[in-house]
């Protein structure tokens, strides 16, 4: 891996981590909850954006390797937060909230896959209609 790629990923990671913290806080503050909606929100948003980017990466030559690394591995890798999702789900289980834990796990696991697919097909549609 080149130093330019490492720099691209690291720079994107910084932005994604700050963005995750900000969005998680905004969502958690504004949405009354028993579930960790902040984490769910960043995972759904990040998965949707990843779907869009992958479609553009596959169907266009617009992005360089460094930009791809910056956006996907850097920003979105730090924005989405499955490790936080895992510990929050565990803590719900540990606290006896089995139903909420299962809902949280289902929404994250299934919701992020659907959001990634939705983003992918939306971008693919716009790419193909523009050509």
Domain segments of the chain: what residues?
Answer: 3-126
**Per-residue pLDDT tens over the stretch 70-117:** 999 999 999 987 878 888 999 999 999 999 999 999 999 999 999 999
Q: Model-level pTM? A: 0.80
Integer Cα distance of 45 and 58 in angstroms: 20
Q: Is the pLDDT assigned to residue 32 strictly greater than 90?
A: no
pLDDT of residue 84: 80
Q: pLDDT tens, 45-61? A: 999 999 999 999 999 99
Answer yes or no: are the C-beta atoms of 50 and 28 closer than 8 Å. Answer: no
Question: How distant is the alpha carbon of residue 119 from its chain centre?
Answer: 11
What is the mean predicted confidence (pLDDT) over 112-125? 95
The alpha-helical segments, DSSP class H, found in 1-131 are 3-30, 37-59, 65-68, 77-79, 82-94, 98-130
Largest CA distance in the chain: 54
Residue 44 in tokens = 């759904």
């Amino acid at each position: 891996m080149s130093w330019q790629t490492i720099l691209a990923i690291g720079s994107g990671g910084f932005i994604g981590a700050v963005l995750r913290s900000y969005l998680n806080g905004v969502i958690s503050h504004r949405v009354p909850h028993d579930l960790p909606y902040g984490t769910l929100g960043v995972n759904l948003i990040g998965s949707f954006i990843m779907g869009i980017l992958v479609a553009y990466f596959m169907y266009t030559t617009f992005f360089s390797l460094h930009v791809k690394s910056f956006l996907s591995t850097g920003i979105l890798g730090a924005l989405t937060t499955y490790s936080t999702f895992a510990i929050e789900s565990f803590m719900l289980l540990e606290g006896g909230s089995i139903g909420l834990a299962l809902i949280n796990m289902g929404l994250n696991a299934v919701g992020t896959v659907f959001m990634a697919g939705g983003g992918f097909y939306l971008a693919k549609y716009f790419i193909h209609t523009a050509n």
